[in-house]
Each structure stands twice: as C-alpha cells, then as structure tokens.
Chains A and B, each alone.
Chain A
C-alpha cells in the first residue's frame, strides 16, 4: 500500500478577512483561559507543597507568588477563571436549549466579557 501523502486542500477564499464576531471570540477565549489556568494550578499547588514542607521552602514559593510577576500571573488567572466561569454557565444555558438565537448569543457573549472584568475588579478589591 502506498504511503499516504498530505493532501493540499483548498482553503476558504476569504480566511484573512473573516470578520471577528462575539460568539467566535468568546468561544476561542473560553478555550484559551481554561487551558491557561493550569499555570495558576501549578503555582498554587507548589505553594501549598512548600507550606507543608518547611518555612524556608515556603519563603521561596511565597516570594515567587507575591512578587510582581506572581501578582501579574495570579491577577490574570483571576480574570481567566471568572471569564471561564461565566462562559461555562453560558454553556450550560446553551445546552439547555436557551439563548441560541444570534442577538441573545451576542448579548450573552458581551455579558461574559464585561462580567469577567467586573468580577475580577471586585475580587481584587475584596480578597
């Protein structure tokens, strides 16, 4: 049997000028935030492990998490987790068969984008 050659398939002709739309943007961001959150999980678990090991090890891990870089990563993770949270709830709503018409879907997408920023600001103030 001959080896399979990669097939040059034609692309959609207007792929470079495809207009960004709220539903596609929010869907892509859901995937990016969900997978990126593993970085925060690694940091938090490392920090817990350090806390359980010794005061010296904890000082190292705590210094990383509370440095400007740690602050940046964790603050962006808060934004990511709230965004993923809201789009997750939206996913459950979609799954139940609601809100699938275009105007409603676009409003829900905007609500997720704005809501995640609002929840992040509230979180950073309270916590």
Chain B
C-alpha cells in the first residue's frame, strides 16, 4: 500500500509529466529577453554596416560582448522550447522526433558558434 495520496502523486506532473517546468522556463527567459533584446538591437544595429575594424572594436568591449553572449544563449534556449511546442502541435511519430532533434541541435549550434565568435573577438 502506498501512503502517498492521489493528489500528491499527481502534483507537478500533468500531461507533459514535467509539470509546469517548460512554461516556467519560457516565462523566466521571456522576462530576461525583455531586458536583453532592446539593448542588443541597439548595439548590433549600430555595429552593422560600420566596417570590420569598428565591429571588432564594439564587441571587444565587455558590455556589448557579455550582452550579445547572453542574448544569443537565452534567445536560442527560448527558441528551442518554443519551436518544440510548434513541432509537437503539427507533427507526430518519427518525423516529430527528427524535427525536435534538428531544432535542439540547431539551437546549440547557433549558441556555440555565437559564443565562440564573441570569445575570439573579445579575447
């Protein structure tokens, strides 16, 4: 006999079996991006079209480099989970699994490439 009540066993599970973890991550990253995105648009938009030297000088500074790195990381993790929901809504079976792997892989590739480039410019 289990001493856990039915409520206790159901708690934090739901249809996803992971409770509200996904939704909470999207909420936290959304609030983070609400601060990051406007600043990133400004810094990136100013740097774009200024030539190689100016771009290197911009992203060699601590604030633009850290901000760009954070924006790329948080935005791609937000994209990974957001695209996951879209794929789960429209596709099933092996195609769904394949697409999920593709999107997860793509998110990490973009993150790693962005962070590598920023580190190379800044250091």
A positions within 8 Å CB-CB of B:
31, 34-35, 37-38, 41-42, 44-49, 51-53, 55, 58-59, 62, 65-66, 74, 78, 81, 85, 88-89, 91-92, 95, 123, 126-127
Interface string of B13-49 (1 = CB under 8 A from A): 0000000000000010011011001000110111011
A66 to chain B, nearest CB (A): 5
Q: How far is the CA of A45 from the CA of B121 in the complex (A)?
A: 13
Closest CB of chain A to B15's CB: distance in Å? 18
Residue B67, interface by CB 8 Å: no
- Considering the complex, give the chain A residue whose CB is closest to the CB of B119: A52
Interface residues on B, range: 20 to 34
CA distance A127 to B76 in the complex (A): 23
Since A37-B79, A45-B117, A52-B120 are in contact, a sample of 14 more A-B pairs with Cβ atoms closer than 8 Å, ordered by chain A residue number, is A35-B79, A35-B83, A38-B106, A41-B72, A41-B79, A44-B44, A45-B110, A47-B48, A48-B59, A51-B56, A51-B59, A78-B41, A89-B34, A92-B31
